[in-house]
Amino acid sequence: MSQHTSALAIETAGLVKTFGETRAVDGVDLAVPAGTVYGVLGPNGAGKTTTVKMLATLLRPDGGEAHVFGHDVVREADEVRGRVSLTGQYASVDEDLTGAENLVLLGRLLGHHKKAARERAGQLLEAFGLSEADGKQVKHYSGGMRRRIDIAASILNTPELLFLDEPTTGLDPRSRNQVWDIVRAVVAQGTTVLLTTQYLDEADQLASRIAVIDHGRVIAEGTKGELKASVGAGTVHLRLRDGGRRPEAADVGPRRRRSYDGPWTPRSSWNRTRSR
Ligand SMILES: Nc1ncnc2c1ncn2[C@@H]1O[C@H](COP(=O)(O)OP(=O)(O)O)[C@@H](O)[C@H]1O
Ligand SMILES: [Mg+2]
């Protein structure tokens, strides 16, 4: 671990998780600066959710280490849990309740008094453009509204670190933009966000740094600026953490320009890589 752990929200070294024969996460090193949006970009099955679950203490790593704000996710799991929140595919909202009822209930479960819980719920519904849906059960929400109430539920108590696992997958462009605005607002309030996505443009829009992950490995990592400048030139210059993995990274895509019109996959994506 580095000496600057305090400035890092997340630091992992050689993180591994296996399911039977599958090495879902195969030696992942991450360094996520506090106070930023960090993008983990990769296709379906790359190991994004498994990584997030280990960092959120929901899965125990089989190898390597992970620290969240300097706390070991295994040995100091309670310390970690008190600082993080997770918005995943299956959030904790109750479909039969309204958005407001859900937020008030969760607020009460978090120990807030009724009045404070109601106030916070009202604030969040307003901020997330869900006030007008008051009275509507969550099961009647649109996909975009559902994603927004999920995120609202996960930031009732402002977490130090928020995991957003593919927050916009399956959403229409307008809803996607609304979620993006929410992510920007969350990070502006000081929360660190780890965002997983299959979309290069989403990572580019929101993240300061991006780790490209495939087959459980980080195959490239860099700042958004570096990646963006290179995309504009039709070439992405990827800085490899491990020069020995250059052949894998070079295999990232065919020699043609990509357009931002679909999920990112290693083979349809960037056209060239370089090691440091
Ligand atoms: N509970 C599980 N049991 C068995 N295999 C799993 C389990 N969870 C994930 N996997 C496998 O691990 C790999 C990584 O999955 P996942 O982390 O969900 O990827 P992503 O979130 O990037 O789509 C995939 O091959 C997936 O099938
Ligand atoms: Mg996933």
Q: What is residue 234's predicted lDDT score, i.e. its pLDDT?
A: 47
- CB of 198 sitting under 6 A from ligand 1: no
Map residue 110 onto helix, strand or coil: coil
Q: What is residue 127's predicted lDDT score, i.e. its pLDDT?
A: 86
Ligand 2 centroid to 132 CA: how many Å? 31
Residues of the chain whose pLDDT is less than 50? 1-5, 233-235, 253-261, 265-276
Q: 221 with 210: CB under 8 angstroms? A: yes
pTM of the entire predicted model: 0.81
pLDDT in tens, 63-89: 999 999 999 999 999 999 999 988 865
Write down the CATH number for the domain with range 1-83+160-231. 3.40.50.300
- CB of 197 sitting under 6 A from ligand 1: no
Ligand 1 centroid to 236 CA: how many Å? 28
Determine the Cα–Cα distance for residues 276 and 220; give it in Å rounded to an integer: 11
- CB of 50 sitting under 6 A from ligand 1: yes
Ligand 1 atom nearest to CA at 53: 17
Ligand 1 centroid to 267 CA: how many Å? 20
Ligand 2 centroid to 119 CA: how many Å? 33
Angle made by CA atoms 97, 103, 109, in degrees to the nearest 5: 105
- CB of 48 sitting under 6 A from ligand 1: yes
- CB of 177 sitting under 6 A from ligand 1: no
Q: What is residue 30's predicted lDDT score, i.e. its pLDDT?
A: 97
Bridge-based pairing of strands 192-197 and 161-165 is parallel
Q: 65 with 8: CB under 8 angstroms? A: no
How far is it between the farthest Cα atoms of the chain?
A: 59
Ligand 1 atom nearest to CA at 20: 4
